[in-house]
């Protein structure tokens, strides 16, 4: 679905020489060296194996979402959808963790870097998904919005964790050279308690700054934040915040922190001074961190729709002249601008698999967001992406089974895609064929059932496995083929004097009725069985029935009559004929004389 306006990147195939192909025109000319065939396929093997768990587990979440009863109450429904979103994210994180382990334990460096790349891709996916959850699924309103964004930043900007750990675990944290960096980080991320805790150590170590510390500590303690439990209205909060802001301003202007540049800088940050915040660029590492910090200290009651302005300016200020936005930046920006379609489009281009966009779009569709954004192709887009994703699964020898469920939930084209894909699955083993069949039967895909059974029957017949061929034709309800195979059985019997696959023929049951020839085969075998068990009168009655029912092939009449001969010598059979039921003994003898 990538809408590329530029030429897509070129994949080079080594050895396929365009120059040489141009030379090989003349028919009948000298062969230009070894002829080659190149088999090219999309390399899905590597990521499919590593992301297998992700595919498997997200499949469960997906199916659950499609099938779960929609909660009536809006709040409850919202909670449901948020939970689904969180589930997806935890699956991503689990996969990331596995990948990380794999990277560590990888013995060769190429593999290690492959895994590491996967980890960073997954990390980016989780980052994006998390933001989408906050903005779209939860649709956090002003107030909680900031808190969520703070969580988001804290969770995802992990570059600084090592530094934090190092300082906290040192003997004398306040003497550590990175001490103030860590304090700054805590402030930038709104982690006031942790910042205050560290500052207290500095105050103890440096009693001369005690006064400054007390004031700063107090300011940090008093900073109004949007409350979680809705105990105050936004207006109340804004008012408090205004007063607090003014108090900070006074302390700064009075020169309270003049003797400590670190503390003064913190105070400026508290006041939302953009330059002061930007000085800590290295600690924030990303423009979206900068954005959230800015919001925290200048507009904590920001409304969702106001985000776009802050986002654009934050990115501009942060990146400045030197760098241009990366794909990830573009995606996040689109999210802050609430351009859902743009988010999905950019993700499709940037990510090398459909997993992410398919599942995210499906979730957003369940949130009824695609319609509300007036995308007339909204549901089409969901289906388009799911079809792409599921089609990809079908190229894998076992993940295709997951694809089935995805197709099931694509109302427009799902069924036909499934029909087309499922009949192409290589039927290497009987078990696989049976598995495929079960899926087709469950969905009343009669033509596919018939076709698969026919293919299996044909394969068995070619390999002279008559029993297998017969049972497949029965399953296919293919009367013509069943007749053909029954003929082969009978021919075999004539040649060898015995039946193969007795088990199968003995237990045909009602499927015997599929074709006349098959019925004859089954009954004829039964005749043999009865004869073998010395139940001669029953055998004779059956033989009589076979002769008169006209289901015996012409080629078999001789055999039947010959079979009758020994029976006629049996005492019970002669007695049977006294009841004059059909062909009499004399009649049979007469026929035999005629034939010879």
Partner 1 sequence: MFVARSIAADHRDLIHDVSFDFHGRRMATCSSDQSVKVWDKSENGDWHCTASWKTHSGSVWRVTWAHPEFGQVLASCSFDRTAAVWEEIVGESNDKLRGQSHWVKRTTLVDSRTSVTDVKFAPKHMGLMLATCSADGVVRIYEAPDVMNLSQWSLQHEISCKLSCSCISWNPSSSRAHSPMIAVGSDDNSPNILAKVQIYEYNENTRKYAKAEALMTVTDPVHDIAFAPNLGRSFHILAVATKDVRIFTLKPLRKELTSSGGLTKFEIHIVAQFDNHNSQVWRVSWNITGTVLASSGDDGCVRLWKANYMDNWKCTGILKGNGSPVNGSSQQGIFNTSLGSANASLQNSLNGSSASRKQS
Q: Which stretch binds partner 1 (CB under 8 A): 34-42, 120-128, 155-163, 330-338?
A: 34-42
Please, which residue, 159 or 408, has the CB nearer to partner 1?
A: 408
Q: Does 7 interact with partner 1 (rule: CB under 8 A)?
A: yes
Please, which residue, 169 or 428, has the CB nearer to partner 1?
A: 428
Lookup: tokens for 522:
């089954």
Please, which residue, 220 or 418, has the CB nearer to partner 1?
A: 418
For residue 416, give every residue at least 6 positions away whose Cβ sits within 8 Å of its Cβ, in sequence order, or none. none
Distance CA(459)–CA(82), nearest Å, equals 51
Please, which residue, 178 or 349, has the CB nearer to partner 1?
A: 349
Please, which residue, 200 or 451, has the CB nearer to partner 1?
A: 451
Contact pick of 174, 293, 391, 471 for partner 1 (by CB under 8 A): 391
Please, which residue, 26 or 495, has the CB nearer to partner 1?
A: 26
Please, which residue, 180 or 384, has the CB nearer to partner 1?
A: 384
Q: Which stretch binds partner 1 (CB under 8 A): 222-230, 270-278, 387-395, 517-525?
A: 387-395
Q: Does 34 interact with partner 1 (rule: CB under 8 A)?
A: yes
Nearest-10 crossing angle of helices 179-188, 261-270? 10
Binding to partner 1, residues 399-418 (CB under 8 A): 413, 416-417
Q: Does 354 interact with partner 1 (rule: CB under 8 A)?
A: yes
Q: Which stretch binds partner 1 (CB under 8 A): 155-163, 265-273, 389-397, 549-557?
A: 389-397
Q: Does 42 interact with partner 1 (rule: CB under 8 A)?
A: yes
Please, which residue, 448 or 519, has the CB nearer to partner 1?
A: 448
Please, which residue, 308 or 454, has the CB nearer to partner 1?
A: 454
Per-residue HEC secondary structure of 312-375 comes to HHHHHHHHCCCCCCCHHHHHHHHHHCCCHHHHHHHHHHHCCCCHHHHHHHHHHHHCCHHHHCCC
Please, which residue, 389 or 493, has the CB nearer to partner 1?
A: 389
DSSP for 236-273, written as a single string:
HHHHHHHHHHHHHHHHHHTTTTTT-HHHHHHHHHHTT-
Q: Does 20 interact with partner 1 (rule: CB under 8 A)?
A: yes
Nearest-10 crossing angle of helices 234-253, 261-270? 150
Distance CA(394)–CA(401), nearest Å, equals 8
The size of the interface with partner 1 (CB under 8 A), counted in residues, is 77
Place of tokens 């990366």: 326
Binding to partner 1, residues 420-479 (CB under 8 A): 420-421, 424-427, 451, 454-455, 458-459, 462-464
Rg of the chain (C-alpha set) = 39
| 73 burial type by CB count under 10 A (0-12 exposed, 13-18 middle, 19+ buried) | exposed
CB distance 360 to 59 below 8 Å? no
Minimum distance from CB of 370 to partner 1 (Å)?
12
Binding to partner 1, residues 364-383 (CB under 8 A): 377, 380-381
Q: Which stretch binds partner 1 (CB under 8 A): 20-28, 312-320, 494-502, 549-557?
A: 20-28
For residue 122, give every residue at least 6 positions away whose Cβ sits within 8 Å of its Cβ, in sequence order, or none. 92, 95, 96, 99
Residue whose C-alpha is closest to residue 307's, from 190, 125, 146:
146
CA dihedral 493, 498, 501, 502 (to 10 degrees): 120
Q: Does 24 interact with partner 1 (rule: CB under 8 A)?
A: yes
Minimum distance from CB of 478 to partner 1 (Å)?
10
Minimum distance from CB of 23 to partner 1 (Å)?
9
Distance CA(575)–CA(536), nearest Å, equals 11
Minimum distance from CB of 481 to partner 1 (Å)?
9
Question: Sign (positive/negative) of CA torsion 523, 527, 528, 529?
Answer: positive
Distance CA(140)–CA(446), nearest Å, equals 49
Residue whose C-alpha is closest to residue 546's, from 574, 585, 583, 501:
583
Minimum distance from CB of 577 to partner 1 (Å)?
41
Tell me the backbone φ, ψ of residue 76, rounded to 5 degrees.
-65, -40
Buried-state track 50-65, b at ≥16 Cβ within 10 A, e below 16: bbbebbebbbebbeeb
Contact pick of 152, 394, 493, 556 for partner 1 (by CB under 8 A): 394
Q: Which stretch binds partner 1 (CB under 8 A): 35-43, 136-144, 261-269, 509-517?
A: 35-43
Please, which residue, 330 or 391, has the CB nearer to partner 1?
A: 391
Note the Cα 359 to chain centre separation in Å.
Answer: 8
Please, which residue, 303 or 397, has the CB nearer to partner 1?
A: 397
Distance CA(546)–CA(552), nearest Å, equals 7
Minimum distance from CB of 172 to partner 1 (Å)?
48
Q: Does 349 interact with partner 1 (rule: CB under 8 A)?
A: yes
DSSP state of 157: -
Q: Does 190 interact with partner 1 (rule: CB under 8 A)?
A: no
Contact pick of 54, 252, 393, 540 for partner 1 (by CB under 8 A): 393
Minimum distance from CB of 438 to partner 1 (Å)?
19
Please, which residue, 111 or 591, has the CB nearer to partner 1?
A: 111
Distance CA(134)–CA(145), nearest Å, equals 7
Note the Cα 171 to chain centre separation in Å.
Answer: 48
Residue whose C-alpha is closest to residue 100's, from 86, 80, 114:
114
Please, which residue, 182 or 363, has the CB nearer to partner 1?
A: 363
Binding to partner 1, residues 225-284 (CB under 8 A): none
Q: Does 4 interact with partner 1 (rule: CB under 8 A)?
A: yes
Contact pick of 251, 389, 406, 531 for partner 1 (by CB under 8 A): 389
Q: Does 484 interact with partner 1 (rule: CB under 8 A)?
A: yes
Binding to partner 1, residues 538-577 (CB under 8 A): none
């Amino acid at each position: 679905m990538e809408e590329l306006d530029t030429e897509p990147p070129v994949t080079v195939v080594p050895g396929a020489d365009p120059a040489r192909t141009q030379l090989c025109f003349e028919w009948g000319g000298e062969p230009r060296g070894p002829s080659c065939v190149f088999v090219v396929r999309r390399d899905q093997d590597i990521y499919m194996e590593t992301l297998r768990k992700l595919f498997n587990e997200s499949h469960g979440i997906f199916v659950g979402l499609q099938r779960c009863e929609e909660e009536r109450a809006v709040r409850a429904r919202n909670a449901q959808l948020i939970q689904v979103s969180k589930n997806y994210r935890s699956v991503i994180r689990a996969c990331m963790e596995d990948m990380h382990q794999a990277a560590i334990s990888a013995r060769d460096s190429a593999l290690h870097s492959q895994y590491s790349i996967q980890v960073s891709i997954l990390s980016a996916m989780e980052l994006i998904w998390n933001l989408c959850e906050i903005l779209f699924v939860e649709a956090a309103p002003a107030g909680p919005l900031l808190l969520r964004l703070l969580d988001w930043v804290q969770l995802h900007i992990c570059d600084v964790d090592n530094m934090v750990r190092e300082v906290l675990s040192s003997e004398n944290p306040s003497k550590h050279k990175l001490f103030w960096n860590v304090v700054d980080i805590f402030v930038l991320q709104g982690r006031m308690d942790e910042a205050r805790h560290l500052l207290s150590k500095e105050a103890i170590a440096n009693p001369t700054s005690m006064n400054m510390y007390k004031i700063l500590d107090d300011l940090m303690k008093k900073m109004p934040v949007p409350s979680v439990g809705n105990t105050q209205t936004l207006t109340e909060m804004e008012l408090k915040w205004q007063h607090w802001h003014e108090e900070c301003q006074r302390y700064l202007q009075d020169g309270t922190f003049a003797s400590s540049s670190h503390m003064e800088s913190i105070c400026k940050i508290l006041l939302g001074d953009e330059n002061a915040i930007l000085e800590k660029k290295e600690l924030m590492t990303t423009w979206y961190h900068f954005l959230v910090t800015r919001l925290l200290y200048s507009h904590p009651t920001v409304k969702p729709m106001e985000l776009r302005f802050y986002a654009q300016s934050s990115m501009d200020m942060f990146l400045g002249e030197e760098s241009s936005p990366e794909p990830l930046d573009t995606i996040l920006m689109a999210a802050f601008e609430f351009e859902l379609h743009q988010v999905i489009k950019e993700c499709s281009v940037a990510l090398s698999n459909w997993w992410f966009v398919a599942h995210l779009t499906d979730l957003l569709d369940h949130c009824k967001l695609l319609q509300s954004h007036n995308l007339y192709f909204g549901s089409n887009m969901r289906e388009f992406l799911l079809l792409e994703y599921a089609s990809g699964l079908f190229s894998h020898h076992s993940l295709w089974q997951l694809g089935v469920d995805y197709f099931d939930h694509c109302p427009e084209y799902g069924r036909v895609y499934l029909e087309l894909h499922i009949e192409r699955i290589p039927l290497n083993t009987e078990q696989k064929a049976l598995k495929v069949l079960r899926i087709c039967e469950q969905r009343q895909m009669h033509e596919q059932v018939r076709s698969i059974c026919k293919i299996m029957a044909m394969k068995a017949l070619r390999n002279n496995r008559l029993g297998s061929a017969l049972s497949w034709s029965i399953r296919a309800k293919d009367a013509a083929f069943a007749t053909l195979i029954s003929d082969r059985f009978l021919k075999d019997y004539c040649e060898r004097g015995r039946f193969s696959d007795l088990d199968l023929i003995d237990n045909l049951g009602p499927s015997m009725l599929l074709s006349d020839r098959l019925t004859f085969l089954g009954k004829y075998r039964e005749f043999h069985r009865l004869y073998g068990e010395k139940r001669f009168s029953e055998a004779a009655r059956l033989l009589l029935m076979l002769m008169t029912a006209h289901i015996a092939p012409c080629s078999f009449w001789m055999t039947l009559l010959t079979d009758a001969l020994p029976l006629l010598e049996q005492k019970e059979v002669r007695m049977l004929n006294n009841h004059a039921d059909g062909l009499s003994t004399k009649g049979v003898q007469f026929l035999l004389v005629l034939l010879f």
